[in-house]
Amino acid sequence: MQYLKLPVVVIALLLLAAACSGKGNSAGEHENFNPETFKDSTNIDNKWFPLKPGMQYSYEGYTNDDEGNRISRRLVVTVTDLAKVIDGVRTVVTWDLDYNADQLVEAELAFYAQDKNGTVWRMGEHPEEYKSGKFVEAPTWISGIADSIAGIEMQGDPQPGQPSYSQGWAPDVDFTDRGQVSQTDQKVCVPASCYESVLIIDETSQAEPGAHQLKYYAPGVGNIKVDWKGADQTQEMLELTNVIQLSSDQLANAGAEALKEEQHAYEVSKDVYGKTAPLERPDGTSVNTRPTAEPTASTVTSAKATQIIGSAASEIIVYAADLSESALSELDFINDPASPGGKWIGLPNTGDELDPPPENDPHLTFKVQVQSGIPYRCWIHMKVGIPKGKSQANVIWAQFSDAVDQSNQAMLEPGTGSYLTAQGPAQPGWAWVGCDLKGSDSLIYFRPTGEITVRLQAGMEGAGFDQFILSSAEYLESPPSEAIVEK
């Protein structure tokens, strides 16, 4: 949906004035988003902002064009049955079509999720703007990417007197909208119907402090009207004209169009949308709308080991035998018919002590494809050797490029002192060993969707492995029970 806009020069001056007054990126400018406060995030049943798949809302009204002329406006919002994982949270996807004077001016994918307290969060937007039927730009923002932070679309229990709240924070695209309860218990009639107990939210933005957009919400329905006051140059007014439940065929068609827009989004917003996971169908399978990248020589050659994850339930499984000799530094292949591919990787035990990262002791690297925003856990099928001298032969350290924790803080980057420890049992033999982060949760998230580097470093001489797993589902809580995990 289009938002209030002023000329670029005016916006720049207003933002400069805010910076000079010492506002900067202070704590009050955005919400404290925490993905752990979400559980059944796609079940959005907030009475002021319900989003049920297949519902379609049509609005009609008017706005002012760039020359100040009043023109007709029409907006169609469709709640698809698609989902998308953003910043660690699975979101509902709406597909919005915005028309001025019966010409499409914007097609938008918008993403919402509801937390445990019933608050609906706006997780990001991909608006494609058009002029005379031609694509112009896409000021995309996605929570967790390019310093953007999710905001509140609708509070769980909105009441008068509550402080204003951020509806999303994306300074790179001048998205700084805020909302606050203005009035409650209003009676409002629009072409669709007359509604009682209506809630009015007053929206402003940092760039346009004198412009106010008023949004009216009816219980059990959602947004029924948009109006304005103050220095709003667009003077936009929209009213709900129709609410319908799409048929299964109509919903499928809407989903197909949303997928087409996502495919275009990956092409025109590579630095932002290009770092997100693909849209998912209702059964959890993702739709690969991303352009196919050319393989590189440094990528693991096994197609199964380097697969683009098809859904949040997929597993990344790499056999030691999948790797090339060039991936190893001071490590060796050991032939063993009991290992998958007939090989495992390790080093002899001379009894010497090894140092952890960032020291560059014996190690290997390889690349895999991951999804942004979903948790992974690392498992290593370890060969625990016979202890000798200072070595118990049972430790491997793991690092990952572009890894973050649940609060989106960088960690585990190769070349740093941040790493996971896989410490096997004292008894020699084979065992599945988890990669643990001392004193913290061992779940791993990744900022981009795409290729990342895995670095495994010997923690003790005599240790080795024949299988590596990054699990997002089947082994998220417990290790495999079988000695060899089939791909």
Return the pLDDT at 253: 92
Please give the mean pLDDT across all residues of the chain: 86
Return the pLDDT at 313: 37
User: Which range has the top average pLDDT, 255-269, 363-377, 469-483?
Assistant: 255-269
- Between 476 and 287, the more confident residue is 476
pLDDT > 70? residue 2: no
- Between 90 and 241, the more confident residue is 241
SS3 sequence of 51-81: ECCCEEEEEEEEEECCCCCEEEEEEEEEEEE
Window from 58-62, 94-98, 394-398, 450-454 with minimum mean pLDDT: 450-454
Compute, in degrees rounded to 10, the torsion defined by CA atoms 314, 85, 134, 173. Answer: -140
Cβ atoms of residues 328 and 303 within 8 Å: no
pLDDT > 50? residue 299: no
Write out pLDDT tens, residues 45-80.
999 999 999 999 999 999 988 788 999 999 999 999
Return the pLDDT at 59: 98
- Give CATH 2.60.120.260 domain extents, the chain: 315-471
CATH of 315-471, one of 3.10.20.30, 2.60.120.260, 3.40.190.10, 3.30.1360.20: 2.60.120.260
Return the pLDDT at 332: 94
Element containing residue 184 per DSSP (H, E)? strand 177-190
pLDDT > 50? residue 305: no
Return the pLDDT at 440: 64
- Given the structure tokens 């048929």, which residue do they identify? 247
Give the residue among 111, 113, 94 at the shortest CA–CA distance from 43: 113
- Given the structure tokens 């275009």, which residue do they identify? 264
| C-alpha distance from residue 154 to each of 120, 166, 259, 467, 473 (Å) | 5, 10, 26, 46, 31
pLDDT > 80? residue 237: yes
Number of residues that make up the chain: 487
When pLDDT is averaged across residues 310-322 and rounded to a whole number, the result is 72
